């Protein structure tokens, strides 16, 4: 592990980033450095811009994926390297048109839940629908997280929670 990667990893952990985010950020910086064959410390906004175009044109990644990679580089340069010479504001942020989510009708929800092959899946679908929990949040629930007296479910380590 390089000294720079170790520093970035420690900075991310110190700021209590989610382990999945940490893994993604470290991978993004590795993918950024690889084609240039030099340390990110020796690169600047020009290389970051080239990398952004590479992800868009050649890799044909989704705009949201590119935004995550750019977030990783922003963290590296601003937090870990404390470089103020790089102005990420000069790099255009790729925008995707906002699409409204598809909302199921009550009848469609009922049919979906009734189509579950067994009681476990049916219960999971009902839980997700009734609470709005994310898949990972539901997967990490324990019986002790359910408070019957207050009609509450305690979610630990949910997205955006410390």
pLDDT for 25 beyond 60: yes
Rounded CA-CA distance 6/72 in Å is 15
| Interacting residues of 135 by C-beta distance below 8 A, sequence separation 6+ | 128
Rounded CA-CA distance 63/53 in Å is 11
Domain with 48 in it: 3-90
Q: Are residues 114 and 148 in the same domain?
A: yes
Q: Are residues 63 and 116 in the same domain?
A: no
In the prediction, which pLDDT does 139 show? 87
3-state secondary structure string, 110-139? HHHHHCCCCHHHHHHHHHHHHHCCCHHHHH
Evaluate whether residue 28 is within a structural domain: yes
Evaluate whether residue 51 is within a structural domain: yes
In the prediction, which pLDDT does 76 show? 94
113-159 pLDDT, tens per residue? 999 999 999 999 999 999 999 988 888 899 999 999 998 999 887 77
Q: Are residues 85 and 11 in the same domain?
A: yes
91-120 pLDDT, tens per residue? 666 666 678 889 999 999 999 999 999 999
Q: Are residues 116 and 146 in the same domain?
A: yes
Q: Are residues 21 and 52 in the same domain?
A: yes
């Amino acid at each position: 592990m390089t000294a720079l990667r170790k520093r970035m990893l420690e900075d991310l952990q110190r700021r209590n980033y989610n382990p999945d985010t940490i893994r993604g950020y470290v991978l993004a910086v590795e993918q950024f450095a690889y084609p240039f064959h030099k340390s990110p410390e020796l690169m600047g906004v020009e290389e970051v811009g080239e990398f952004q175009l590479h992800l868009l044109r050649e890799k044909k990644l989704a705009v949201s994926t590119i935004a995550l990679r750019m977030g990783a580089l922003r963290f590296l340069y601003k937090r870990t390297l404390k470089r103020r010479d790089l102005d990420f504001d000069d790099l255009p942020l790729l925008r995707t048109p906002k699409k409204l989510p598809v909302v199921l009708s009550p009848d469609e929800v009922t049919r979906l839940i009734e189509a579950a092959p067994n009681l476990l899946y049916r219960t999971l679908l009902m839980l997700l629908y009734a609470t709005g929990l994310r898949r990972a949040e539901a997967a990490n629930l324990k019986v002790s997280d359910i408070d019957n007296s207050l009609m509450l479910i305690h979610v630990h380590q949910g997205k955006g929670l410390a």
